[in-house]
């Protein structure tokens, strides 16, 4: 239960930061999002592994570093956190928002690519023997999300995370049909990253 609580807390603050930063219109929004993920990873990594993302949980499971019995509870905690964060962002919001419009094929491509990149960085900095015990994994992971948000956020909304995708849809930033793209492309990106990791690193 402690692991699931940590997953809820970390995912909540990630999605809450996404919502409030986007509402603020600050040009530092990508940095705030990457930093929020980074600090939550450093805070919770020793308890739950600090996935805070269903696609990352899938990748870590396929890599062999997450127990089968934790996968569904992690997903529930992460998606619930995204929904709760969205409710609070909507409550605090003082003006209506307009849902963005994104083309489906470019969105699918960039969501897949940067979720792959995110899961690839997670696996290689937080689960690999060669980087075991390092102190930089949270920074590397957070900056991957920041990079993706800057590079392709305008193309897809820059979720790279089904829990974030659920949150931004519930906040009204994205249309409902974008949710299925976030789920499909992001989970596929995580799965392919795990398979690629195993090709490169074997079973270690």
> What is the CATH topology of the domain spanning 2-201?
Glycerol uptake facilitator protein (1.20.1080)
How many angstroms separate the CA atoms of 186 and 174, rounded?
A: 16
* Cα(21)–Cα(28) distance, integer angstroms: 8
Torsion of Cα atoms, 134 then 138 then 143 then 148, to 10°: 120
Would you write out the chain's pLDDT as a tens digit for each of its 204 residues?
Answer: 899 999 999 999 999 999 999 999 999 999 999 999 999 999 999 999 999 999 999 999 999 999 999 999 999 999 999 999 999 999 998 788 889 999 999 999 999 999 999 999 999 999 998 898 898 999 999 999 999 999 999 999 999 999 999 999 999 999 999 999 999 999 999 999 999 999 999 877
CB atoms within 10 A of CB 72: 10
Cβ atoms of 170 and 87 closer than 8 Å: yes
Q: Which of 106, 98, 105, 115 is nearest to 175 (CA)?
A: 98
DSSP 40: H
Phi–psi pair at 100, nearest 5 degrees: -70, 160
Tens digits of residue pLDDT in 142-156: 999 999 999 999 999
Res 202: pLDDT: 82
Tokens of 75: 């997903």
In whole angstroms, how far apart are CA 3 and each of 9, 45, 166? 10, 10, 21
Contact 51, 193 (CB under 8 A): no
Query: What stretches of the chain adopt beta strand conformation (E)?
Result: none
């Amino acid at each position: 239960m402690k692991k699931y609580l940590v997953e809820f807390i970390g995912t909540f603050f990630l999605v809450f930061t996404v919502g409030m930063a986007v509402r603020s219109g600050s040009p530092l929004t990508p940095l705030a999002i990457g930093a929020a993920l980074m600090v939550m990873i450093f805070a919770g990594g020793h308890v739950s592994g600090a996935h805070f993302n269903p696609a990352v949980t899938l990748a870590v499971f396929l890599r062999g570093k997450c127990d089968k019995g934790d996968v569904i509870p992690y997903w529930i905690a992460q998606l619930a956190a995204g929904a709760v964060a969205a409710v609070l962002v909507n409550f605090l919001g003082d003006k209506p928002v307009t849902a963005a419009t994104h083309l489906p094929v470019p969105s699918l491509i960039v969501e897949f690519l940067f979720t792959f990149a995110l899961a690839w960085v997670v696996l290689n900095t937080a689960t690999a023997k060669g980087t075991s015990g390092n102190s930089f994994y949270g920074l590397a992971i957070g900056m991957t999300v920041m990079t993706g948000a800057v590079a392709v956020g305008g193309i897809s909304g820059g979720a790279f995370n089904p829990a974030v995708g659920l949150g931004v849809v519930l906040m009204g930033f994205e249309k409902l049909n974008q949710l299925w793209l976030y789920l499909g492309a992001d989970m596929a990106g995580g799965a392919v990253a795990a398979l690629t990791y195993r090709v490169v690193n074997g079973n270690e």
